[in-house]
Amino acid sequence: MLKRWGMVIDQNKCVGCWTCAVACKSINNEPLGVHWNRVLTTRPDEDAPGKEPVAATAIDVPHGEFPDLELAYQPLACQHCTDAPCRRVCPVNATFRRDDGMVLIDFERCIGCRTCFAACPYGVRTFNWQRGQYGSDFEVGYGRDYRWNDRLVFTPERPVGVAEKCTGCVERIDNGQEPMCVAVCPAGARVFGDLGDPDSEISFTIKQQGGRQLLADLGTGPGVYYLPVSRPNKEHI
Amino acid sequence: MVERKKATASGGYIVMSVLAAIAMIGFGAWIYELVYGLAVTGMRNVISWGLYIFTFAYFVKLSAGGLIVASTAEVFGVSALKPLTRIGVLTAAICVAVAAMFIIPDMGRPDRLLNLLMHPNFRSPIVWDISIIALYLAMSVIEFGLLSAPPERQWRSLIKTLAILGLPAAFALHSITAWIFGVQISRPYWNSALMAPMFVVSAILCGSSLIALIAALLQRFAGFRFESSTWRALATMMAASLAVDLYFVFCEYVTVLWGVVPRDMIPYRMLMPNGKFGALTAIEWIVGGVGPFVLLVLPAARARVGYIVTSAILILAGVYAFQIGLTNVGEANPLIQLPPGTSLGTFTDGASVFQLVGQYAPTWVEYAILAGLVAFAVLVFMVVYRLLGVQMREPQSSLPAA
């Protein structure tokens, strides 16, 4: 079967430390106010989170009333959908999908119309409204352009007026490394691998533990799976 | 029929100079936006379409009236509407051109506009919309050109053909513009099959209202005199499309409010009287809905220009309110509404960079560009109208052979 990169996130292991989000910001030199990856506060029994939007009060605030409190985390970045709505609406094919499942943006083609912002059900895109502001006066992270098929899919300093989002650390995975959020997760909550290979760790985990996609009923076919905290055949370590 | 009085010219030049100045200010604001990026607008990652887009959709709708009035007159031989044919086609051309111009300041990279021609994605409603806008603009400009030729040299059969094609073109234009919103599975408030018919009807509604307003202005300032049958035809068109428009919106309300599905209800709560956008609903339903409808159908009020023009203005405000609500409410609530929400994409020292529910307020830059483009539209109308007026008075003047 064709290679299809994917990720599984175990919400039972996630401690909501934001290390993935911070590492993502660093490796990709994301400006202040831009988060490709973030950790949302949710409930353990959330059935396919987002099915019933719960506008909880704030980050890290548990649901319920003392002492019956509950809390879980849902890291969220681009889901690298098989049939990505953002790719369908992009008028200039700036958003495209590689055969290995990675949905990428060509920074040199995007016209900045933001129809993809309206289309993405996961709200994971972010726009370069202005020249990026940084906390430090030096560049951090990968630090150079990355092209795939001559298309600029990563550049440390993004042009003003184009859309961007998680690239799945395409420059790393093409060189046999894991995406940064997977590599740094201190809880080991993330597994990256080939969904096309039924014997891979990721495929096995999803099958064995009941991995769920976000807003699966929309039929976008995300490449990211979640293992909810409350799940029938949870394996305790 | 139309009977012209002597128009006063001097006042017009003052108005035109003021309009040109406003248009230049708008152009300056756009340059400012180009230099500093779209961060100078109120748009951010959550509500990433604002004033430009809802005004774009509004101008697309305004362009309908003209062509539909003109085509109805030609195709169905509604003689009462005939005097409005040329004004209608001219309004259509200008409104659709200005609608397209509203897209430019909304684009992050207007310098890459040609990518739309070089790398089009035919699955994207944006590409459909740009195609139909170009076609519609070309059709209305050609039709206007043909109608402006002296009567003895008019190419009647082509005018008739264009008028017939104008109706499906108008339907396509409004349906496709509606689908930019309506097909988005990520926006429950937009994702409705009713969106396209609703846009078509509301386009006829505010388009005919705009024509009524222009006709009244011409009657007041340019010495035109339209017969009461023309006014009655316009009033009928407005009242009928207003009724159908409100009915469609009402159907949406019933479907959602009866279902009480959370993801559908969240945007609707914003539109309820106690919601954040309750005022817009009131403007849409009362100020621009029931109010003008009563004015238009009351036997005492029918065919009285004052009532019709008042209704037209109220309707134009109501449809604009609907358009603001549609864009803002649709985008304010992401499907995954968990704290801390979505990052803004910009940074202000001391303020949160996350938003759970989208906030949007236009900035002076957006208002300046809005005023500039509206002034530009009126200015173009006045200039073309004046050139055309000269031509009308002297039909036998030496025109280059067409």
B160 to each of B71, B96, B195, how far by Cα in Å? 8, 21, 30
Q: What is the CA radius of gyration of chain A?
A: 18
Question: How close, in Å, is residue A206 to chain B by CA atoms?
Answer: 22
Rounded Cα distance between B199 and B203, Å, is 6
Burial of residue B2, with CB atoms counted within 10 A of its CB: 0-12 exposed, 13-18 middle, 19 or more buried: middle
- Domain assignments of chain A as residue spans, ordered by start: 5-227
Neighbours of A144 (CB within 10 A): 10
Tokens of B37: 């990026």
Nearest CA in chain A to B119: A92
pLDDT digits (tens, 9 = 90+) for B45-63: 999 999 999 999 999 999 9
Contacts of A54 in chain B (CB under 8 A): 337-338
Residue B335: which of A55, A93, A121 has the nearest Cβ? A121
Interchain proximity B339–A58, CB inside 8 Å: yes
Q: Residue B314: pLDDT above 50? A: yes
Interchain proximity B338–A122, CB inside 8 Å: no
User: Which chain A residues in 120-149 lie under 8 Å from chain B, judged by CB atoms?
Assistant: 120-123, 125-131, 133
Tokens of B18: 């003021």
Question: How close, in Å, is residue B39 to chain A by CA atoms?
Answer: 5
Give the mean model confidence (pLDDT) for residues A88-101: 97
Residue A129: which of B38, B116, B187 has the nearest Cβ? B38
Q: Residue B146: pLDDT above 80? A: yes
Rounded Cα distance between A229 and A215, Å, is 17
A91 CB near a chain B CB, below 8 Å? yes
Res B70: pLDDT: 85
Interchain proximity B335–A92, CB inside 8 Å: no
Contacts of B130 in chain A (CB under 8 A): 91
B222 to each of B11, B216, B226, B389, how far by Cα in Å? 11, 10, 12, 10
Res B302: pLDDT: 65
Q: Which residue has the tokens 């005097």?
A: B83
Res B8: pLDDT: 55
Give the mean model confidence (pLDDT) for residues B75-99: 91
Q: Which residue has the tokens 């209704």?
A: B311
Interchain proximity A128–B342, CB inside 8 Å: no
Residue A123: which of B49, B185, B336 has the nearest Cβ? B336
Give the mean model confidence (pLDDT) for residues B14-18: 95
A113 CB near a chain B CB, below 8 Å? yes
Highest mean predicted confidence (pLDDT) among A135-144, A189-198, B299-308: A189-198
Interchain proximity A91–B113, CB inside 8 Å: no
| Single-letter residue type at B171 | F
Stretch among A45-49, A220-224, B141-145, B336-340 having the lowest mean pLDDT: A45-49
How far is C-alpha B67 from the chain's CA centre?
A: 13
Res B338: pLDDT: 87
% of chain B residues with pLDDT over 70 = 93
Of A79, A90, A76, nearest to A118 by C-alpha is A90
Of A87, A94, A92, A86, nearest to A119 by C-alpha is A86
According to CATH, what is the number of the domain A5-227? 3.30.70.20
Q: Which residue has the tokens 């990518």?
A: B115
Question: How close, in Å, is residue B254 to chain A by CA atoms?
Answer: 21
DSSP structure class, residue A234: P
Answer whether B317's CB lies under 8 Å from B288's CB.
yes
Better-predicted residue by pLDDT, A149 or B220:
A149
Q: Residue B392: pLDDT above 90? A: no
Best mutation site among B346, B354, B355, B366 for testing chain A: the one with the most A CBs within 10 Å? Answer: B346
Stretch among A56-65, A126-135, B109-118, B326-335 having the lowest mean pLDDT: A56-65
Residue A59: which of B121, B180, B340 has the nearest Cβ? B340
Interchain proximity A161–B262, CB inside 8 Å: no
A152 CB near a chain B CB, below 8 Å? no
Average model confidence (pLDDT) across chain B: 90
Q: Which residue has the tokens 């726009």?
A: A127
User: Which chain A residues in 209-228 lie under 8 Å from chain B, judged by CB atoms?
Assistant: 214-215, 218, 220
pLDDT tier at A165 (50, 70, 90 boundaries)?
A: very high
Of B165, B139, B143, B169, nearest to B154 by C-alpha is B143
Res B170: pLDDT: 94
Give the mean model confidence (pLDDT) for residues B262-277: 92
Res A120: pLDDT: 97
A76 CB near a chain B CB, below 8 Å? yes
How far is C-alpha B146 from the chain's CA centre?
A: 24
Res A34: pLDDT: 97
Nearest CA in chain A to B45: A126
H/E element, B340:
none
Residue A129: which of B37, B339, B354 has the nearest Cβ? B37
Average model confidence (pLDDT) across chain A: 91
Q: Kindly report the CA angle at B151 between B231 and B13, in degrees rounded to 5?
A: 65
Contacts of B30 in chain A (CB under 8 A): none
Contacts of A94 in chain B (CB under 8 A): 115, 119
| Contacts with B197 (C-beta within 8 Å, 6 or more apart), sequence order | B175, B248
Res A56: pLDDT: 57
Strand ranges, E, within B32-121: none
Answer whether B51's CB lies under 8 Å from B370's CB.
yes
pTM: 0.93
| Contacts with A234 (C-beta within 8 Å, 6 or more apart), sequence order | A12, A209, A227
Burial code (b: 16+ CB inside 10 Å, e: under 16) for B53-67 equals bbbbbbbbbbbbbbb
